[in-house]
Structure 1
Amino acid sequence: MISLLISGFIGMFSETALNIAISDLMQVMQITAPTAQWLTTGYLLTLGILVPVSGMLLQWFTTRQLFIASLAFSITGTLVAAMAPTFEVLLVSRVFQAAGTGLLLPLMFNTILIIFPPHKRGAAMGVIGLVIMFAPAVGPTVSGLLIEHLSWHWIFWLSLPFLVVALLFGILFMQNVSTLTKPKIDMLSILLSTIGFGGIVFGFSKAGEGTEGWGSPVVIAAIAIGLLSLLLFSLRQLSMKQPMMDLRVFKFPMFIIGLIMIFFCMMIILSSMLILPLYMQKGMGLSAFTAGLLLLPGGILNGFMSPLMGSLFDKYGPKWLVIPGLVLAAAALWFMSGITAASTLALIVVLHSCLMVGISMIWMPAQTNGLNQLPPELYPDGTAVMNTLQQVAGAIGTAVAVSILSSGMNDYLKSSANPLDPSEVTEAMTIGSQHAFLFGMIVALAGLAAAFFIRRVQVSKSSGRAPMH
């Protein structure tokens, strides 16, 4: 568990640590914002392509083999990134890092489902939640500090020793826990899944760059081809004896509800974690380090609430956590939509913390409850579906939020008498950000409507507990 948690932490840390460094990289490497955005898009795209295949990989390779392969990719990527002289080299290193994370996340969830009995899973998933939520939260603060005093290269030099320690721990203590069934490899399924998920992530990311927009032929073609490929992929899986991704997981209603919750949660987190720091830097004139620092209390709170929520879930089930969590998240986003340049920093810290506590009440209980309903032979497929849709939700959430921000700004500046006046640009940024937070609130309310259908999954008697609904 320690090996998985350390490497998972660094994988998730890498996902957000570079966000704060993007404006710095644009100056150093003389690249535009849409080009720099590819450091995040490329990462998400690799995950979107690799994670769907992970269910099959978990049935082909042992726990140790997958863990060592994932760490080899991560260490290679991190080392190359730390020494990257050009943007192209940095982009390739990000793909390697994403490949490592893409193998590791499904492996981590699958291992927990195998080694912990159902009535202890909430607490175990809570510890994973601590890692998955805490790492992206401290990423911007740590990288802001490193950029201010050293250089962006140190974001990667700092990660490297942790990955090496995790690898050594894994080589010494990691045991093989999964059962290998070695299903037939279907190249057409892999191709359709790659084009399908890759196309959707690419299309939405491209729309979110702001240069193309939703009406662009590239965006429309990518999303349309992606959706068509996914339809063909699904039809093929349903007709196969040994599918690459077993879609029977969708026969379980609580798994579907859990999936919807995770999808909405990921959209809220990634869109607000992109818009809020951007607004603090561009709208309120704060430095990267200060913006990162203001996001830290919410991130820490979220991380430490996860294990607690896991334990409460084991005791009381999901309903009494998920519904209040969504109400809290929606309320925080509603108040965020009223933020202006005159808002106090304390208010921002409180609202961000409330949002993060709300998310911790939704995420782990909904995910664990959903996976608990699956029979053990569907665990690899269940984790693959959940992790894949998280990447897709992340791409959709950020793209929609950025385009809402841009169109809100453009509409305001079009009607402005002096659109080049800095105070007018700040006002435009405020209005655009407010619209983006309202979008987040609507997503939270949609999640709330679905949450009323959540029921506690019956835990088998072999776990030592009476069946409960």
Structure 2
Amino acid sequence: MFSPELDSPAKSATAVSGRTPAVIRLLVLATFVVILNETIMINAIPRLIEALHITEQTAQWLSTAFMLTMAAVIPITGWFLQRVSTRSAYTTAMGLFLLGTALATIAPSFEVLLGARIVQASGTAVMMPLLMTTLMQVVPEEERGRVMGNVTLAISVAPAMGPAVSGVILQLGSWRLLFAVVLPIAALITWRGLKQLQNVGETEFSTIDWLSVVTAAAGFGGLVYGLSRFEGGEVGVAATIVGAGLLAIVVFVVRQLWLQKRGTPLLDLRTLRHRTYTVALIMMSVAFMAMLGSMILLPLYLQNIRLLTPLQTGLLVMPGGLAMGLLGPIVGRLFDKHGGRVLVVPGAIGITLALAGFTQITMTMPFWQLLGLHALLMVGLAATFTPVFTIGLGAIPPSLYSHASSILSTLQQVSAAIGTALVVTVMSARAETLRSEGVTQVLATLDGMRLAFIIGAALSVAVIITALLLPARAESATGEHK
């Protein structure tokens, strides 16, 4: 399947002090492009509805299917990354992404475009765990904060730039340009990566358990899909699908516990025996729920209530995203020097204050105030995510890095789905109640948004509580269940 060059023996990839290893720089660049592509579709929905003659609900499937695929594929990547070399994993991820992007560029119908997005998502699902796993293998413990900060820069700036970039591109031409612009850039990065990338770590041969694959895909995919149905108001159907998804996840977990005794789990759950990693997972999940909820609500408020264009909306939220990204390296260096607690606790408090501020939105709140609150939220997240990822993954033995990265990435997708479903359902239910009482559409929607922001602020209090449970550094957890 892979060329001899791709599967050549792993070479030493020790980091030069003070410098980010070349393998990490290449993987960060590739990850930046695939994540940018994930959010670049946000502003294209109206164009797609018109060009492909589809409904808004149908068009939303382009985002739902992407998330579904990510949730279904990521649990398998822990096994996949242990079995193949770094170059093979990179080739698979970028090959799938390029194939999906090329197909999307020429897609003659919605069905083909949807298939292309699924192929793209399959590649994206491999990139994030590959980046995190490789980082933990090649970067010395005392420099992980700084390097993780650089990774945060790419991961956070990309989604912030997506809506603004797509707004500019859509001014120049059709929705196909979104893919046509990304394709040559991704191809160049892939070529350069294959030219310079070295294998890291040793591969392990193991058979795959297909029952685990099926239950993981059905469970996590079903959970994300069911949660997305809540947004459309189909509560009964959504609850049934969510229940079926949770049942499949229970079967998956029981199967993994049985396979662990034989040494061949698809996703090794022994990572959860490490208290620090588990606390970091909980904190990250709740923070993601709060963050994604606000990321959905703010554009809705700006476009539907304040009547800004998609481009204006993208430009207004861009400073916060850029601030989050640019602070990444600084946060990383501070973490290496002082540990995580001095960053995580103030960051968690900043998240809560920002979300509390958003509960006061009105028809006339000044745009500078909205920009300031969004920037505070992003800065709080920057101070939180880099230390949490570094401390959490640092508490895991090297043999479990790929599994820990996969669990982390899977929960990010599930948390995003829960956060989105929660705020949209709360907002819609509140707005519907007020409309039935004679309140105007705009005021009812605005009040629904306020209530949804209150839910987000309440969730963020749990982020502060878990922040207080985290140790300052990962090494304080080295004695945990090995």
| Superposition TM-score tier, normalisation by shorter sequence | over 0.9
Residue aligned with 1:286, SS: coil
Return the alpha-carbon distance in structure 2 between the equivalents of residues 167 and 118 of structure 1.
28
Look up the match of 1:309.
331
Look up the match of 1:256.
278
Give the conservation status (yes or no) of the 8 Å contact 1:203–1:220. yes
Q: Does 1:300 align with 2:307?
A: no
1:219 aligned residue (230, 234, 238): 238
Look up the match of 1:281.
303
Look up the match of 2:453.
437
Query: Counterpart amino acid of 2:86?
Result: T
Return the alpha-carbon distance in structure 2 between the equivalents of residues 179 and 226 of structure 1.
34
1:70 aligned residue (93, 106, 113): 93
Query: Counterpart amino acid of 1:258?
Result: A
- Offset at 1:371? 0.5
Look up the match of 2:360.
338
Q: Does 1:357 align with 2:345?
A: no
After superposition, where does 1:412-427 map in structure 2 within 5 Å?
Answer: 412-416=434-438, 424-427=440-443
Return the alpha-carbon distance in structure 1 between the equivalents of residues 363 and 40 of structure 2.
25
Give the conservation status (yes or no) of the 8 Å contact 1:406–1:432. yes
- Offset at 1:459? 3.5
Return the alpha-carbon distance in structure 2 between the equivalents of residues 345 and 429 of structure 1.
19
Query: Counterpart amino acid of 1:267?
Result: M
Query: Counterpart amino acid of 2:91?
Result: I
- Offset at 1:48? 0.4
Give the conservation status (yes or no) of the 8 Å contact 1:148–1:289. no
Mean alpha-carbon deviation: is it higher for 237-246 or for 58-67?
Answer: 237-246
- Offset at 1:305? 0.9
Query: Counterpart amino acid of 1:339?
Result: I
Look up the match of 1:40.
63
Q: Does 1:383 align with 2:405?
A: yes
Unaligned runs of 5+ in 2: 1-23
Give the conservation status (yes or no) of the 8 Å contact 2:321–2:375. yes
Return the alpha-carbon distance in structure 2 between the equivalents of residues 458 and 75 of structure 1.
37
Look up the match of 1:30.
53
Residue aligned with 1:452, SS: helix
Q: How high is the TM-score relative to the length of structure 2?
A: 0.91
Residue aligned with 2:212, SS: helix
Look up the match of 1:108.
131
Query: Counterpart amino acid of 2:255?
Result: R
Return the alpha-carbon distance in structure 1 between the equivalents of residues 168 and 225 of structure 2.
31
Query: Counterpart amino acid of 1:434?
Result: R
Look up the match of 1:230.
249
- Offset at 1:281? 0.5
Mean alpha-carbon deviation: is it higher for 43-52 or for 442-451?
Answer: 442-451
Look up the match of 1:402.
424
Return the alpha-carbon distance in structure 1 between the equivalents of residues 62 and 458 of structure 2.
29
Q: How many positions carry a matched residue from both structures?
A: 451
Mean alpha-carbon deviation: is it higher for 338-347 or for 83-92?
Answer: 83-92
After superposition, where does 1:112-261 map in structure 2 within 5 Å?
Answer: 112-208=135-231, 210-212=232-234, 214=235, 216=236, 218-240=237-259, 241=262, 242-261=264-283
- Offset at 1:458? 4.8
Look up the match of 1:6.
29
CA RMSD of aligned residues (A): 1.5
Unaligned runs of 5+ in 1: 418-423, 463-469
- Offset at 1:451? 1.4
Return the alpha-carbon distance in structure 2 between the equivalents of residues 89 and 239 of structure 1.
40
Return the alpha-carbon distance in structure 2 between the equivalents of residues 317 and 173 of structure 1.
33
Look up the match of 2:466.
450
1:269 aligned residue (284, 291, 300): 291
Q: How high is the TM-score relative to the length of structure 1?
A: 0.94
